[in-house]
Structures are given as C-alpha cells and as structure tokens.
Amino acid sequence: MVKKQIENFDLEQICNSGQCFRMEKLEENKYRVIANDRCLDIYQKDGECIFNCSLEEFAEIWEEYFDLKEDYKFYIDQINPKDTYLLNAAGMGRGIRILNQDLWEMIVSFLISQQNNIVRIRRCIQNICREYGEEKKTASGESYYAFPKPDVLACLEEDDLKACNLGYRSKYVVRAAKAVVSGDIDLQAIEKMKYAEAKKELLKIFGVGIKVADCICLFGLHHLEAFPVDTHINQALEKHYKRGFPKRRYKGFEGILQQYIFYYELFGEK
C-alpha cells in the first residue's frame, strides 16, 4: 500500500476524461484501473491517495502511468490570463493528467471510439477483453482480463468482433491486428518516432483518420503537442477561438489544454 499527497490529480476527472476506458468507479472515492496487465485499486479523499500496490509496483508502473512526476500546475500557470474560457476549463479539470498508456490498446480503443460514446466504448472493450484477453487474478483472488494481444485478434475474421458489439468497427480492429502481426505496422518503431512522423505512420492503419491518430499520439505515445479535434472540441473552437486555438503560445503541451477543454465541454456549465 502506497500513500501519496498529489496536487492536480483527481481520479474522477481522469476516469471521465475520455482518454482511458478500463478505469471504473467502484464506490465513493474508490476506483479501479486495469493497465499493463495489472489491476489497481485506488482510494482518494481530501488530497490523499492510497494505491493498493507495493512501493516497487508503484515506482515501476503506476507513477509513470499517471504521469505523477510532471508538474501540471506549471501548464495551467502558462494560460493567458485574458482567456477566461480556458482558465475556467483548466480550473474545472485541473485534476486531469495525460496517462502513459499502451500503444496497441490505444489503437484499438480509439478505432472503437468512432461514432461512439464513452459508456459504449467501455462496454465494447470489456467485451473483447473478456472474450480474447488472458485471465488474471488480483492478490485477493478476483479475476480480471488483460487486453488482448495483436496475434490473438489477428486470427479472427473481420466480422467476428461484432459479437462484442463493435459493429462496423470490427473490421478496423481485426485489420489493425493483422497489420501489426505481419509487420506492416511496427509498434516499437512508432514508439520511437516524433509526433509528426508517428501520426503519419498511424494514418496508414485502416480506419484511422486524423482525429483518431491524434488521440493515439496523445494518449498512447504521450505526444503532448497532439490536439485531437472531435465534435466537442470543434464546437469550443468555433465559439471561443474563431481564429484558431493559439497553439504557438502553448507549444509542446497543447494536448493537456485540449483535455481541459474536452472535459469542460462535457461537464461544465455553458
């Protein structure tokens, strides 16, 4: 068990931020996240977080996963004091952090995300993990499922994942898995690329468009300059940034501000 006092870190905001789909609220102030083939329960109240894992596991996996070494207050402090909209968005979502997530999982997750909502995306991913992921056990003996590997999904027919409620997205995921297994898409090489090059490579995957590629870059490669534009972000840009979002001012961390805007558009008072 690891206890930490962490500023600018809110489990509820992260869970609802649309960047991770294997994190769930168990009860008041308690959350569970499955990542890197591990299952972690976290309790947070009054600024204190209790991570139900060893200190070694925390240092090896979860500190990086939650991006806890970064000072997010620094990013918020860079916001133009005249930009009241962005200040309000950052004020509301200041507990969000950009997670360091598995690239393959993010490719599948955001292929599934197209024309979909967060609740259904979570259900789809839960379905494919239960059906095709390796069963694991927590220390207390509870079962959970690892995210299915590319070689497992590559063996499927293109429509097989419709049984997991993926609909037309089934063929996107199966083709992506086949591309990874064949070597047409080299995940290890992509992980070493800079943002522009990685995005270009991801766009070669069947079903991946600009928005999905940017989501993968931001949430699966931690390219903080990626700025995914979906319906919510586009509405905010049209209303508040008619000349375009001032990316030059926030060069290198635009994606963090994008998350504040996205969260604010979903949950803020308009």
pLDDT tens-digit profile, the chain (270 residues): 999 999 999 999 999 999 999 999 999 999 999 999 999 999 999 889 999 999 999 999 999 999 999 999 999 999 999 999 999 999 999 999 999 999 999 999 999 988 778 889 999 999 999 999 999 998 888 999 999 999 999 999 999 999 999 999 999 999 999 999 999 999 999 999 999 999 999 999 999 999 999 999 999 999 999 999 998 999 999 999 999 999 999 999 999 999 999 999 988 765
- For tokens 């604010």, name the residue: 264
User: What is the 8-class DSSP label of residue 241?
Assistant: -
Q: What is the pLDDT of residue 269?
A: 65
> What contacts 4, CB < 8 A, 6 or more positions away?
48, 49, 51, 68
- Find the angle CA(34)-CA(120)-CA(131) to the nearest 5 degrees: 55
CB of 259 closer than 8 Å to CB of 17: yes
Tally of CB atoms within 10 A around 123? 15
Q: Which of 131, 125, 108 is nearest to 180 (CA)?
A: 108
Strands (E), 46-139: 48-51, 135-137
The encoded tokens of residue 83 equal 């930009």
The continuous run of DSSP H or E covering 12 comes out as helix 11-15
pTM of the model: 0.94
Q: What is the pLDDT of residue 66?
A: 97
- Nearest-angstrom CA–CA distance, 181 and 123: 25
Kindly state the helix (H) or strand (E) to which residue 75 belongs, with its residue range: helix 72-77
pLDDT score at 179: 96
To which residue do tokens 């360091």 refer? 100
Cα-based torsion angle of the residue sequence 240, 241, 242, 244 in order, rounded to the nearest 10 degrees: -160
